[in-house]
């Protein structure tokens, strides 16, 4: 794997300047809309804000603490390959960045509210920062492939949140709306990192593309669940909830009811299929149903 990543830097540089169609399945009429919303600035976040359930609340809190640093990583990974992209993709990258900046701002505010509710996020944030610092020494194309994999994760999680309202039912209103708003835009820009990858690797063989993206998705999946589960258990520990029964309740929450992880498994597996593209599954009907609550606003300055 290390040798593969070292070879990526050379292969990526060799691809610069070569024109070729990259086979994107992104709909021709797709528009990325920047919805500049702010959530819950005046509210005091309940400690168990999601249906008074410590398990559910801890899981989403653990996800949220990754977004400010994680989305900065996504932005930098995509920006590294923006030069020379086709005009449409260049515009999509610009709107992707603007959406992600807004997501970062809102999750910074949410994480601050979680801290004010009594949670100590400092150790988890320190570990996340260390993990992302390690990425600085990797080839940029490897970071783009990592971003592509994580963007697929966020897109399929977003799809599940919107198509199954039970996940956020009973949640504190402003916080539940934050997650729905974020989900809309994650679905909307789900093809940007992938199309950037297709452009950056346009002179690679299909086998090489598939091998690298698959290896990195497997690594990303492992790290994602190890760290998110550890963080969730740490937040539950801070609530005085520990032991095997709590771990069993968390497993049941993720895999059985409401089963967020088990329900996204088919879409996760689709990433490994030949000819995969995020827009092979068109979710825009869900966006249309949800976005009436989040009207588009003027572009950010």
36-73 pLDDT tens trace = 999 998 889 999 999 999 999 999 999 999 999 999 99
171 - beta bridge partners? 50
Rounded Cα distance, 280 and 294, in Å: 25
Q: How confident is the model at residue 265 (pLDDT cuts 50, 70, 90)?
A: very high
Read off the tokens for 157: 């999680």
Chain position carrying tokens 């697929």: 152
Q: How confident is the model at residue 299 (pLDDT cuts 50, 70, 90)?
A: very low
CB 74 within 8 A of CB 147: yes
Rounded Cα distance, 53 and 91, in Å: 41
Is the predicted pLDDT of residue 121 greater than 90, yes or no? yes
Q: What is the pLDDT of residue 219?
A: 95
Half-sphere exposure of 114 (CA within 13 A, CB side): 28
Q: What is the pLDDT of residue 289?
A: 84
Rounded Cα distance, 199 and 19, in Å: 9
* Burial letters 51-66, b for 16+ CB under 10 A, else e: eeebbbbbbbbbbbbb
Q: How confident is the model at residue 21 (pLDDT cuts 50, 70, 90)?
A: very low
Is the predicted pLDDT of residue 296 greater than 60, yes or no? no
- Of 80, 102, 81, nearest in space to 32 by CA: 102
* Burial letters 90-124, b for 16+ CB under 10 A, else e: eebbbbbbbbbebbbebbebbbebbeeeebebeeb
CA angle 204, 210, 215 (to 5 degrees): 120
Q: What is the pLDDT of residues 190-223, one digit of tens each?
A: 999 999 999 999 999 999 999 999 999 999 999 9
Backbone φ, ψ for residue 50 (5° rounding): -100, 95
The more confident residue out of 159 and 42 is 159
Q: What is the pLDDT of residue 42?
A: 85
Which SS3 state, helix, strand or coil, does residue 50 take? strand
Q: What is the pLDDT of residues 170-189, one digit of tens each?
A: 999 999 999 999 999 999 99
Contacts of 12-18 with CB under 8 Å at 24 or more apart are 12/139, 12/140, 12/141, 12/200, 12/201, 14/203, 15/200, 15/201, 15/202, 15/203, 15/204, 16/84, 17/84, 18/202, 18/203
Largest Cα separation within the chain, whole Å, is 58
Is the predicted pLDDT of residue 240 greater than 70, yes or no? yes
Q: What is the pLDDT of residue 293?
A: 62
Read off the tokens for 20: 């070729």
CB 67 within 8 A of CB 125: no
Q: What is the pLDDT of residue 128?
A: 93
Query: What percent of the chain stands above pLDDT 90?
Result: 81
CB 210 within 8 A of CB 294: no
Which of 7-16, 91-100, 123-132, 143-152 has the lowest average pLDDT? 7-16
Read off the tokens for 141: 């194309």
Q: What is the pLDDT of residue 101?
A: 97
- Of 252, 222, 246, nearest in space to 233 by CA: 246
């Amino acid at each position: 794997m290390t040798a593969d990543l070292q070879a990526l830097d050379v292969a990526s540089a060799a691809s610069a300047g070569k024109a070729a169609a990259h086979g994107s399945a992104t709909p021709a009429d797709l528009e990325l809309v920047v919805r500049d919303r702010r959530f819950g600035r005046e509210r005091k976040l309940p400690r168990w804000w999601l249906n008074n359930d410590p398990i559910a609340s801890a899981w989403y809190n653990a996800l949220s603490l990754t977004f400010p640093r994680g989305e900065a990583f996504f932005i930098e990974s995509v920006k590294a390959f923006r030069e020379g992209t086709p005009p449409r993709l260049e515009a999509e990258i610009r709107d992707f960045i603007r959406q992600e900046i807004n997501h970062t701002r809102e999750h910074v505010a949410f994480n601050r509210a979680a801290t004010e509710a009594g949670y100590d996020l400092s150790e988890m944030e320190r570990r996340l920062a260390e993990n992302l610092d390690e990425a600085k020494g990797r080839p940029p194309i490897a970071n783009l492939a990592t971003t592509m994999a994580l963007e697929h994760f966020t897109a399929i999680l977003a799809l599940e949140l919107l198509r199954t309202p039970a996940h956020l039912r009973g949640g504190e209103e402003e916080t539940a709306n934050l997650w729905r708003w974020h989900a809309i835009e994650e679905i909307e820009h789900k093809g940007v990192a992938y199309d950037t990858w297709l452009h950056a690797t346009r002179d690679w063989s299909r086998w090489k593309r598939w091998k690298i993206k698959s290896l990195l998705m497997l690594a990303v999946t492992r790290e994602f669940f190890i760290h998110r589960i550890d963080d969730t258990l740490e937040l539950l520990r801070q609530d005085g909830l520990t032991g095997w029964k709590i771990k069993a309740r968390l497993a049941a929450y993720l895999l059985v009811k409401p089963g967020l992880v088990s329900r996204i498994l088919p879409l996760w597996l689709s990433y490994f299929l030949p000819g995969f593209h995020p827009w092979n599954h068109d979710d825009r009907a869900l966006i249309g149903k949800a976005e009436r609550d989040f009207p588009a606003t003027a572009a950010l300055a």
